[in-house]
Amino acid sequence: MSKLKWVLYGLGIVFILLQFYRPDISVKKPGTSETDLLQTVPGAPAYLKGACYDCHSNESTLPWYAAINPAGIFVRNHIREGRKHLNFSIIQDYPTDKKVKKLNECAEAVTEGWMPMESYTWMHADARLTDEQRAELARYFESAAAASLARDMNRQ
C-alpha cells in the first residue's frame, strides 16, 4: 500500500508541475486585417469562423479546459499545428500557388469530412456541419481560390 501511495503522490506532483508549462500560441484578438480571408473574399458562410478559425487563424479562442494541463498542451499544440498548415489570418500573404492549393485542399477536406476534426467537434457544437453546410463551405473555398488566383494574376 505504501508504494501505491508514493506513486499517487508522485503523479500528483507531476500534475501540479505540468500546470506551469504553457506552450505559446500567441493568441491575438480579432482585428481587421487586409490579408484575412474573410476580409478579402466576400460571401463566406457564417459558420466558417466557428468551424475553422479557432485552429486556423490568429483569432483562436481557448476553451475553459485549455487552462488545465495536459488538456491545455493538447489544445495549444493542435492550434500551433493548424496554423502551421494553414492560417486564414494571413492567407493572402501566401504565394499564389500555395494559396490556391491550400484553399482547394480546404474544399476537399470539408467535403470528405476530414475537417473540422472530430476531436474538435466533440466540444464545439457550432463546428458540427451538415452535408449542405459542407457543400456550401467547399464551394466558398473553391470560389476563394479562383478569386485569389484571378486577383493575383491581375496584379502581375
Residue spans per domain, the chain: 2-155
Largest CA distance in the chain: 75
pLDDT for position 30: 47
pLDDT for position 35: 64
Contacts of 135 by beta carbon, 8 Å cutoff, 6+ apart:
111
Residue 154 has pLDDT above 90, yes or no: no
Distance between CA atoms of 77 and 154, rounded to whole angstroms?
Answer: 38
Read off the pLDDT of each residue in 44-49 and give the average, rounded to a whole number.
Answer: 86
The three cell numbers locating residue 91: 492567407
pLDDT for position 28: 52
pLDDT for position 114: 92
Look up the pTM and report it.
0.77
Read off the pLDDT of each residue in 107-122 and give the average, rounded to a whole number.
Answer: 92
pLDDT in tens, 49-94: 889 998 999 888 888 888 888 888 888 888 999 999 999 989 988 9
pLDDT for position 71: 86
Residue 129 Ramachandran class (φ > 0 left, ψ -120 to 50 alpha, else beta): beta
Residue 13 has pLDDT above 90, yes or no: no
Residue 134 has pLDDT above 90, yes or no: yes
Distance between CA atoms of 126 and 107, rounded to whole angstroms?
Answer: 19
Inter-CA distances, 152 with 81, 85, 90, 144, 155, Å:
27, 21, 15, 12, 5
DSSP-based three-state secondary structure for 102: helix
Contacts of 139 by beta carbon, 8 Å cutoff, 6+ apart:
107
Q: What percent of the chain has pLDDT over 90?
A: 35
Mean pLDDT of the chain: 85
Q: Which residue has the higher pLDDT, 4 or 22?
A: 4
Distance between CA atoms of 122 and 129, rounded to whole angstroms?
Answer: 12
Read off the pLDDT band of 25 (50, 70, 90).
Answer: low
Q: How far apart are the first and last CA of the chain?
A: 74
